[in-house]
Amino acid sequence: MDDELETCWLCGENGAQDPLDTHHIFGGPDRRKSEKYGLKVKLCHNRCHIFGPMSAHQNAETALSLHQYGQRKWMEEQGKTIDDFRREFGRNYL
């Protein structure tokens, strides 16, 4: 198991109360790219992933923060620029 993924990206909980899900940072048509590049985070299933008011699938600000995090991570790990990101993912979140 990957140590850095064992706590919730949003709140830092360890999943004991609310099991951790894997969330693909870029969903829809880009889900496969999220898979390919490892652009995934752990989120508490109810509170932070699907249902809570701040959850990734309900809250636009949380989703944007995740997209920004994912873009920075991709650029850093792949040694790429914003233009490269725009070419691969179709937009720029930064």
The answer to whether the CB of 44 falls within 8 A of the CB of 77 is: no
Stretch that binds Zn ion, among 1-9, 34-42, 68-76, 81-89 (CB under 5 A): 1-9
Pick the binder of Zn ion from 25, 39, 48, 66 (CB under 5 A).
48
Residues 6 to 35 in contact with Zn ion, rule: CB under 5 A: 8, 10-11, 13, 23
Decide: is 41 part of the binding site for Zn ion (CB under 5 A).
no
Distance CA 70, CA 15 (A): 22
Pick the binder of Zn ion from 25, 41, 44, 66 (CB under 5 A).
44
What is the binding site for Zn ion (CB under 5 A)?
8, 10-11, 13, 23, 44, 48
